[in-house]
């Protein structure tokens, strides 16, 4: 009985957490995200996120700052979306080659393992946009490539 009670309480919390995210946003971990079905260039994806702001909450392409968050988002994609695709998230090194920053916070994107796939970033000035790639890790890719996008409420 105790176990069942625990499960019910947890389910209750889960539902409550999802209710906290407005519009089409969903709760993953402690943040609200929206994963598009349509594909956009990185710039159009950024504009899409900053335009669609349910309940007047600020939003941008996702900024994934710690490995717990990365694990939670990737696990959600594996279980609910298509893990054979790449998804745009909010980092860019367009302003300064080799220095990735989140467009929504201005903070530097974490470097190396466990965030980036080994060998990435490798595109120099040809690849200036950050993707959560089908490897489950970050990769730099050409910003013009159409990809699905992951938006996040700020
Ligand atoms: Ca680059
Ligand atoms: Ca690359």
pLDDT tens-digit map of 68-92 = 999 999 999 999 999 999 999 999 9
Ligand nearest to the CA of 129: 1
Q: 9 C-alpha vs ligand 2 centroid, how far in Å?
A: 43
Q: Given a cut of 60, is residue 14 above it in pLDDT? A: no
Q: Domain coordinates of the chain in residue numbers?
A: 2-153
Q: 4 C-alpha vs ligand 1 centroid, how far in Å?
A: 51
Q: 125 C-alpha vs ligand 1 centroid, how far in Å?
A: 4
Q: Which of 136, 124, 63, 119 is nearest to 93 (CA)?
A: 124
If pLDDT is split at 50, 70 and 90, which confidence band does 19 have?
low
Looking at per-residue pLDDT, the higher value among 20 and 16 belongs to 20
Class of CATH domain 2-153: alpha beta
Asked if residues 91 and 129 have their Cβ atoms less than 8 Å apart, the reply is: yes
Q: 122 C-alpha vs ligand 1 centroid, how far in Å?
A: 8
Q: What is the rounded average pLDDT for all residues in the chain?
A: 90
Give the residue carrying structure tokens 């519009």: 23
If pLDDT is split at 50, 70 and 90, which confidence band does 20 have?
confident
């Amino acid at each position: 009985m105790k176990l069942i009670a625990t499960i019910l309480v947890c389910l209750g919390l889960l539902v409550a957490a999802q209710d906290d995210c407005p519009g089409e946003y969903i709760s993953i971990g402690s943040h609200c995200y929206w994963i598009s079905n349509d594909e956009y260039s990185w710039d159009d994806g950024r504009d899409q996120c900053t335009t669609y702001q349910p309940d007047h909450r600020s939003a941008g392409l996702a900024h994934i700052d710690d490995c717990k968050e990365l694990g939670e988002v990737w696990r959600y994609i594996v279980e609910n979306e298509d893990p054979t695709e790449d998804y745009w998230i909010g980092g860019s090194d367009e302003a300064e080659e080799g220095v990735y920053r989140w467009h929504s916070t201005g903070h530097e994107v974490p470097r190396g393992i466990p965030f980036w796939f080994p060998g990435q970033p490798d595109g120099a000035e040809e690849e200036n946009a950050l993707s959560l790639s089908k490897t489950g890790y970050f990769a730099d890719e050409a910003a013009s490539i159409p990809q699905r996008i992951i938006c996040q409420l700020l």
